[in-house]
Amino acid sequence: MSSDTLAQSAAVPETPDGPDLPRIVPQRRLGQWTAAAVVLVLLGLAVNSVLRNDAFQWGVVADYFTSDAVLRGLWLTLWLTAVVMVLGFALGTLLAAFRLSANPVLRAVSWGYVWLFRSIPILVQLLLWFNIGALYPQILGVKTVDLLGPVTVAVIGLTLHEAAYAAEVVRGGILAVDRGQIEAAQALGLSRWRRWRRIVLPQAMRSIVPPAGNMLIGTLKGTSIVSVIAVQDLLYSVQLVYHRTYQVIPLLMVATVWYTVVTSLLGIGQHYVEKHYARGTERTR
């Protein structure tokens, strides 16, 4: 037998004797496809009803969407959200450190703060701060009547409220770090600051970022409650307009669309921050 014949016989695999193997048929998911089709039809009908409903007055929405009053209210909402989140997490981190401290007094103070400010509704807190002059006419010899303006009251009330939740978020993130890694860093002789910066914080951020992102979006929407104390945020600005024009629905839709746009952008940012801190984990792979 020549070398060419041997090469050809080696290249062609021999078919095994016996009956053919059964044909693999993919599973038919008729129920899932039917449910998906029904959901898409209902979603299309809902979107069509909103877009073609003249009661929404989309032309009026377009006219006021970028008006000066609305943009000023939007800017105040964004500014208030940023300030409250920064101050709230700064105070919350301090409270979390107190809660994890070996000092029983600091632990008790932190627990009491979190318990108190999570128990009182945020609207009640804002109204109490807004009427602080009626409760304490003077503090350290300073008259408190008209001392705090509406924006200052909003910053104080929202910050103290958010700090209670931020403290639990930070504490949960720190407790999620494996204790063995901290002990290993101590065995290597790393200082306390380097242990926190290089070991604890990067791993804790994996647990902190998702609830912190939800808190950020919740704070953005929650700032609308400051309209009750005449802070000219986005909601209060559109209220001033529709009290004058009586176009309630389209002006509310202006605020709704702006809140939706901003929260969507914040959600995209949260996704990339989570992806950054989840590097090297099973989820990213």
- pLDDT, tens digit, 9 for 90 and up, residues 90-132: 999 999 989 988 889 999 999 999 999 999 999 999 998 888 8
- In whole angstroms, what is the distance from residue 201 CA to residue 93 CA? 12
Residue 16, pLDDT score: 53
pLDDT digits (tens, 9 = 90+) for 6-64: 445 545 455 555 556 777 767 777 888 888 889 999 999 888 888 888 888 888 889 99
Which residues make Cβ contacts (< 8 Å) with residue 252, sequence separation at least 6? 238, 242
Q: Is the pLDDT of residue 257 over 50?
A: yes
Q: Give Cα 163 distance to the centre of its chain.
A: 15
Has residue 94 been placed in a domain? yes
Q: How many domains does the chain divide into?
A: 1
Identify whether 181 is part of a domain.
yes
Please state, rounded to an integer, the average pLDDT across all residues of the chain: 84
Mean pLDDT within 217-232:
89
Please tell me the pTM assigned to this model: 0.79
pLDDT at residue 105 in the model: 93
Is 52 among the domain residues? no
Average pLDDT over residues 241-269: 92
183 lies in some domain: yes
Q: Which domain holds residue 210?
A: 79-232
What does the buried/exposed string (b/e) look like for 14-29 if buried means 16 or more CB atoms within 10 Å of the residue's CB? Answer: eeeeeeeeeeeeeeee
Band of residue 185 on the pLDDT scale cut at 50, 70, 90: confident
pLDDT at residue 3 is higher than 70: no
Could you tell me if residue 216 is inside a domain? yes
pLDDT for res 198: 76
Give domain status of residue 155, yes or no: yes
Name the most confidently modeled range: 167-181, 184-198, 220-234. Answer: 220-234
Q: How high is the pLDDT of residue 285?
A: 44
Once rounded to an integer, what is the mean pLDDT over residues 149-163? 91
- The amino acid sitting at 73 is G
Give the CA radius of gyration of the chain: 30
Instruction: Please give the sequence-ordered ranges of beta strands (E in DSSP) within 18-171, or none if there are none.
Output: 138-139, 142-143
Q: What is the pLDDT of residue 191?
A: 73
Q: What is the pLDDT of residue 18?
A: 52
- Residue 89: name the closest of 178, 170, 185 by CA: 170
- What pLDDT is recorded for position 282? 54
Residue 80: is its pLDDT beyond 90? yes
pLDDT at position 188 is 73
Q: Is residue 10 part of a domain?
A: no
pLDDT score recorded for residue 158: 94
Q: What CATH number is associated with residue 202?
A: 1.10.3720.10
Establish if 54 belongs to a structural domain. Answer: no
* Beta-bridge partner residues of 138: 143
CA distance 242 to 239: 5
Percent of the chain residues topping a pLDDT of 90: 39
